[in-house]
Structure 1
């Protein structure tokens, strides 16, 4: 259970970095109608709400990666082999897009302006950050 919490923290951090780098990746909450753009810099003392919003989206992203991604990877194995593994980037972008769709039913919304550029670049950024952060001893899956 502790490893899952670490993965949620890593996902939240990776989403924050991706939102900071890419202007088309936004997280907004229903309580505050303004979007949390570019690393969550807003006015006032909303820092705790922003951190919780990123952690909530990181939780949804972790659940999607835990349950949906293995099935999609198995079904797309021939295409992944044919493209020498590059199709994994598209799978990661699709999981991010699925997270955005699922978050539209919650008070915290992840919006992605375009599938190809923003989602694919965000998937690459999130994958690199997750790879680097997985070297943390408590973040490894057992």
Structure 2
């Protein structure tokens, strides 16, 4: 039940992010739900591998390369999910921030 609630919070955060950030297009609530699932899976399985592989460049950039990895994950989700479109790097970067902040705020009510 907790997983479903967190998934719905992520879906709501994705919809809010798509409304707030120009350059992000989400067709429907169903698409946002699928994007939440795909982002969750990519963040669970692919992101740790990318972070380990990119550790030297992350150290060199003082941790700023983690933002590039996050943008790459968002681009990858837009590739896998039809109806979810990202226009540019800056849009994906801001979208990642908005989704994180909205998810954190809504997640505080869950705990």
TM-score, scaled to structure 1: 0.67
1:126 equivalent to 2:99? Answer yes
Flag the structure with higher helix content: 2
Contact 2:31 2:81 in 1 (8 A): no
How many positions carry a matched residue from both structures? 111
1:1-142 alignment, distance < 5 Å: 2-28=1-27, 50-104=28-82, 109-114=83-88, 116-138=89-111
Larger relative contact order (CA 8 Å, sep ≥ 6) = 2
TM-score, scaled to structure 2: 0.83
Mapped partners of 1:54, 1:93: distance in 2: 17
Structure 1 gap segments, 5+ residues each: 29-49
Contact 2:25 2:86 in 1 (8 A): yes
Specify the alignment match of 1:42 in structure 2. none
Structure 2 gap segments, 5+ residues each: none
Q: Which has the larger radius of gyration?
A: 1
1:6–1:92 Cα change, 3 Å: farther
Coordinate RMSD, CA, aligned: 1.9
SS of the aligned residue for 1:135 comes to: helix
Contact 1:26 1:112 in 2 (8 A): yes
1:99–1:25 Cα change, 3 Å: same
Q: How far off is 1:24 after superposition?
A: 0.8
Mapped partners of 2:69, 2:19: distance in 1: 22
